[in-house]
Amino acid sequence: MKYSIQTPLLVLVHLVFLIVQTQSQSTDLLSKTCKKTPYYDLCLSSLQSSPQSSNSDIAGLAHIMADLVLSNATDTLDYIHSLLKQSPEADLQKPLANCAELYIPVVKYTLPQSIDALSNGHYGFANYGISDAAKEAQACEKGFSGSTKPLTDRNTLVSCLSEVAVAIINLVLG
């Protein structure tokens, strides 16, 4: 059998072409999916930051977004607790405590159950739970009055990520 240097080179060129083509298809899916959400840039940057998104279908992208919602809601709840431990001013204690009461069930029950529902193909239930996370973040924000609103950026992010996740789940639902 005659062995040529051209054979490995051809195989290598073919592999590089397949890798580039696969990455291009993945990027196309992310872009097409995110264009159908209310926050294209947030959707795209969030999904691109996840290594799993390159191998995911739309249902997988919905799962990744739901995980991001849970992660950000958990971070927000932790931040609320840290603010409460710092003995904030009296006018902030009540709205912060209210926000903790809103976020605790979202972090401990609603979002984990929604993620389980996604894994089991129960997209309607997942959609409802993730929508609830956005509503609770918005309710938390409305609890603050005056110019001091220490959670605005975090509440907005949780709400927007939730809306993106819901939009992607709606794509799965057809």
Give per-residue pLDDT as tens, 41-55.
999 999 999 999 988
Listed as ranges, residues in the chain with pLDDT below 70 are 1-27
Report d(CA 60, CA 62) in Å as an integer. Answer: 5
pLDDT of 132: 97
Residues 132/53, Cβ–Cβ less than 8 Å: no
Residues 162/37, Cβ–Cβ less than 8 Å: no
For domain 6-173, give the CATH superfamily. Invertase/pectin methylesterase inhibitor family protein (1.20.140.40)
The residue among 107, 51, 55, 49 whose CA lies nearest residue 76 is: 107
The token pair that represents 96 in the structure block: 């912060």
pLDDT of 5: 57
Residue 37 sits at φ, ψ, to 5 deg, of -115, 165
- Tell me 52's DSSP state: G
pLDDT of 1: 52
What is the model's pTM? Answer: 0.84
**Residue 2, phi-psi category: left (phi > 0), alpha (psi -120 to 50), beta (remainder):** beta
pLDDT of 6: 58
- Host H or E run for residue 15: helix 6-34
Whole-angstrom CA distances from 125 to 47, 116, 134, 158 are: 22, 10, 15, 19
Distance from chain centroid for Cα 95: 25
